């Protein structure tokens, strides 16, 4: 049995050139169209991986407006399509506009069949690589164990990981800047794990979580009798991190009075416990993190400039989840597999509308919010596939364009079946009657869409 040939859509209103191009590409299943409507109909029916598009289409054969409208509609319906735009009208301006509009490549008429054939072949090759990469990303966790199990495939976050790997062996203070929930502690642990201090303690303290009057004692420790309740001598976090790494999370919340004492420690590498007179030498690497704008705080005299420069010998900015392209899907699959294994083994995956809702959401709480939503959804889910409702996220608007009837029908079927099962309290016979179908048909549909009562 021979494998299906890849599908190439040629959108060209010149019938002679259309026939010439059809005959030239024996390696592909060639579909042709002469106008925008025909192109979109062919796209919905055949879902071609690559499209060659003439910008001069009727009713504007001497211009480019109809061609650019066709390009926009193709990419709105099937964003991964590789569209090769061809035009003889204002080639330079058209090329710039086409590429800016999402076209894969541009070719100036008159067409050279051999040259265009090479561009088409390269487009099919890239499409195959991208699909295989997407399959691997969804099937495997891209983790870095040395970086505390960091999971990413986003170029923005991989750049951060490479910076961490380079900086970790150098015994310098590192400042991690990023919004809450972006994984600052994960990266701090990665710095520790890749350093020469990896076999000693990693001591973390959240400076925002401890009341101001207790933070000094937590950091520096205290002697017996130093204050009411100090019934024994207690080492602070700095002392416990001797030989290892001290991680000061939310360092921007340290009060000014305590910043002075922290600066002295960083300058002299000695501390005194509260109520003590003996200086204690400390050898520890300091990593800190904050979501606040420390430069603005310095300008407002809320954070000491000299302390900032002691803490920020190296500054690493961490992108938000919304800036990590492709990581929402990757992380969602990772969290689902982990929580399903621990909490609800019947959950096997994410419904298509759930993936759409996940990628539409802005993620103000970043990775922590995504993790919490997946955990809650897995616990509460009734079916095998998590839905947008399980995730407490609205599905995409009903008016959104569908690629073809198959996609629209699948979403409608899923919604109707879930509603019927809910109304009949999971009674299959009653749900089938409500839907106007037989029990075997309902069972077949539930199996097809991986739905369970």
pLDDT category of residue 117 using cuts at 50, 70 and 90? confident
Query: Which pair of structure tokens corresponds to residue 333?
Result: 């699959």
Contact between residue 329 and residue 160 where contact means Cβ atoms under 8 Å apart: no
Structure confidence at residue 96 (pLDDT): 80
Contact between residue 180 and residue 370 where contact means Cβ atoms under 8 Å apart: no
Strand partners, 8: 30, 50
Tell me: pLDDT of 397 over 50: no
Percent above pLDDT 90 for the chain: 44
SS3 state of residue 213:
helix
Structure confidence at residue 419 (pLDDT): 75
Q: In the chain, which residues fall in CATH 3.40.50.300?
A: 146-319
Burial class (CB in 10 A: 0-12, 13-18, 19+), 346: exposed
Q: In the chain, which residues fall in CATH 1.10.8.60?
A: 323-389
Averaged pLDDT, 149-169: 87
H or E segment and range at residue 10:
strand 7-11
* Per-residue exposure over 129-156, b if at least 16 CB sit within 10 Å of its own CB, e if not: eeeeeeeebeeeebebebbbebbbbbee
Helix axes 113-139, 15-24, angle to 10 degrees: 60
* pLDDT, the chain, mean: 86
Q: In the chain, which residues fall in CATH 3.40.50.2300?
A: 7-138
Q: What is the pLDDT of residues 191-249, one digit of tens each?
A: 999 999 999 999 999 999 999 889 999 999 999 988 888 889 999 999 999 999 999 99
CATH class entry, domain 323-389? mainly alpha
CA distance linking residue 279 with residue 224, whole number of Å: 16
Give me the residue label for tokens 């705080």: 297
Q: What is the pLDDT of residues 60-109, one digit of tens each?
A: 888 888 999 999 888 878 877 899 998 776 677 888 888 877 788 888 88
CA distance linking residue 175 with residue 252, whole number of Å: 11
146-319 placed in CATH 3.40.430.10: no
CATH of 7-138, one of 1.10.1760.20, 3.40.50.261, 3.30.2000.20, 3.40.50.2300: 3.40.50.2300
Architecture label for domain 397-453:
Orthogonal Bundle (1.10)
Q: What is the pLDDT of residues 293-321, one digit of tens each?
A: 999 999 999 999 999 999 999 999 999 99
* Long-range CB contact pairs, 300-309, < 8 A, 24+: 302/256, 303/252, 303/256, 303/259, 304/256, 304/259, 304/260, 304/263, 306/263, 307/259, 307/262, 307/263, 307/266
Structure confidence at residue 272 (pLDDT): 94
């Amino acid at each position: 049995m021979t494998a299906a040939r890849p599908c190439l859509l040629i959108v060209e209103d010149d019938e002679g050139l259309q026939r010439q191009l059809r005959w030239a590409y024996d390696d592909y299943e060639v579909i042709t169209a002469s106008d925008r409507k025909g192109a979109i109909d062919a796209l919905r029916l055949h879902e071609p991986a690559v499209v060659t598009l003439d910008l001069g289409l009727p009713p504007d054969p001497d211009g480019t407006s109809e061609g650019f409208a066709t390009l926009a509609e193709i990419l709105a319906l099937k964003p991964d399509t590789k569209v090769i735009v061809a035009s003889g009208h204002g080639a330079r301006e058209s090329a710039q506009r086409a590429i800016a509009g999402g076209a894969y490549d541009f070719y100036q008429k008159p067409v050279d069949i051999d040259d265009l054939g090479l561009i088409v072949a390269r487009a099919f090759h890239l499409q195959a690589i991208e699909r295989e990469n997407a399959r691997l990303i969804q099937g495997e966790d891209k983790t870095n164990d040395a970086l505390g199990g960091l999971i990413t495939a986003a170029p923005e976050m991989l750049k951060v990981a490479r910076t961490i790997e380079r900086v970790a062996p150098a015994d310098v203070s590192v400042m991690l800047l990023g919004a809450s929930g972006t994984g600052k502690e994960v990266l701090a642990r990665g710095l520790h794990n890749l350093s020469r201090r990896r076999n000693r303690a990693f001591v973390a303290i959240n400076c925002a979580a401890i009341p101001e009057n207790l933070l000094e004692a937590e950091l520096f420790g205290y002697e017996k009798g130093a204050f009411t309740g100090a019934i024994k001598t207690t080492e602070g976090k700095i002392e416990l991190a001797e030989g290892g790494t001290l991680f000061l999370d939310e360092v921007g919340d340290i009060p000014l009075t305590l910043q002075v004492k922290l600066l002295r420690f960083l300058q002299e590498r000695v501390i005194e416990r509260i109520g003590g007179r003996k200086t204690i030498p400390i050898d520890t690497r300091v990593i800190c993190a904050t979501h606040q704008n420390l430069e603005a705080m310095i300008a407002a005299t809320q954070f000491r400039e000299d302390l900032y420069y002691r803490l920020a010998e190296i500054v690493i900015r961490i992108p938000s989840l919304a800036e990590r392209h492709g990581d929402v899907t990757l992380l969602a699959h990772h969290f689902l597999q982990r929580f399903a294994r621990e909490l609800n083994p019947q959950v096997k995956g994410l419904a298509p509308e759930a993936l759409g809702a996940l990628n539409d959401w802005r993620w103000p709480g970043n990775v922590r919010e995504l993790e919490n939503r997946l955990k809650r959804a897995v616990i509460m889910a009734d079916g095998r596939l998590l839905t947008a409702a399980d995730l407490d996220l609205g599905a995409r608007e009903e008016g959104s364009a569908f690629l073809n009837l198959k996609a629209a029908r699948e979403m409608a079927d899923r919604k109707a079946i879930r509603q019927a099962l809910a109304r009949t309290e999971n009674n299959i016979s009653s749900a089938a009657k409500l839907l106007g179908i037989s029990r075997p048909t309902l069972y077949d549909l539930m199996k097809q869409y991986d739905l369970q009562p």
